[in-house]
Amino acid sequence: MSSGDEQYMKYWACDISTIVREAQSLVHELGHFDPIYFMELNYHLLRGDGFSTAALRELCKLLPENICKNCIWKLKRGKCLLMDKLRNLALRAHLERAPPCVRAAFRKNKITVVASYLIAACLIDDVMGAYKLTCDNMRKMGFCEPDEVCKVFKPKNVLQYSSFRLIYKVNRFNEHEEHNPSSML
């Protein structure tokens, strides 16, 4: 294994040649390659983090093209269908109600971050495992764009945003009604 290959082995507890050999065996047996199924079959080769988006990305980075071309998640143009599927799920998930950092991640095309939020919020099924998203993590990744809700409530976890957003809207409505009681008529 070259020193360049070692960077890819953060989530796998074996060498690249073992992973490639197992992947080639799966392609030979099934006629195609499914990275999710591969990870389920070879769970014992994963490090302590186990089945995760990061491990899947790492797998896809280290596999040779002859395996990728047999991947069921790719189109003929070489585009990953899994990322397209997650992008489409994100588009349908009403991101206008998501925290501003999640919307920023979507604008920057960081679909795995958006999918992690949607999975953690139980808005989509867990197809890949999710990052733990805290406001501090989102700030470190460069996605923090606090709006009024964030400034007022200072949430620690992105999942708190929805509740705080609702409270903020109710409070604003009540303040408006106190100043304009005739608007209810």
DSSP string computed for 50-115: -S-HHHHHHHHHHS-HHHHTTBTTB-TTS-BHHHHHHHHHHHHT-GGGS-HHHHHHHHTT-HHHHH
Residue 100 has pLDDT above 80, yes or no: yes
CA 179/CA 164 separation, integer angstroms:
23
Looking at per-residue confidence, does 79 or 96 come out higher? 96
**Higher pLDDT among residues 49 and 29, named by residue:** 29
Phi, psi of 85, rounded to the nearest 5 degrees: -65, -45
- Mean pLDDT for 62-66 is 80
Length in residues, the chain = 185
Any bridge partners for residue 74, and if so which? Answer: 80
In the block, which residue shows the tokens 């509740």? 163
> Residue 181 has what pLDDT?
63
pLDDT at 2 over 60: no
User: DSSP secondary structure string, 110-179?
Assistant: -HHHHHHHHHHTTSS--SS-----BHHHHHHTT-----HHHHHH--SBGGGHHHHHHHHHHHHHHHHHHH
Statement: residue 110 has pLDDT above 50: yes
Three-state DSSP state, 33: strand
Cβ atoms of residues 11 and 50 within 8 Å: no
Is residue 177's pLDDT more than 80? no
24 and 31 in contact (C-beta within 8 Å)? Answer: no
178 pLDDT band (50/70/90 cuts)? confident
